Amino acid sequence: MKSTEINELTLRELEERIDNEKTFFIKMKLNHTVSPLDNPMKLRDIRRNIARLQTELRRRQLTDNKQN
């Protein structure tokens, strides 16, 4: 996911996307434990996407607090 895509999301969409990515990551991790994935680097990519989304969410929260 590119940063331009993340910047276009609303606050609610960010929160929903984080929840979806986390559940997808958990499922992928469990599947990888049972039978190895073809591309285990996908786990790292998902984890990094979650971090990018959380960073953007936190940045928006901080800017909203500064404005108030």
Contacts within 8 Å (CB) and 24+ apart, 14-17: 14/53, 14/56, 14/57, 14/60, 15/57, 17/53
Scan for tokens 């991790």, then name that residue.
29
Q: Could you count the other beta carbons within 10 Å of the beta carbon of residue 6?
A: 17
Q: Is the pLDDT of residue 63 over 90?
A: yes
Span 47-54, average pLDDT: 97
Q: Say what the pTM is.
A: 0.90
Calculate mean pLDDT across residues 40-45.
96
**Where are the domains positioned within the chain?**
3-62
User: pLDDT tens digits for 14-27?
Assistant: 999 999 999 999 99
Cα–Cα distance for residue pair 19/58, rounded to 1 Å: 15
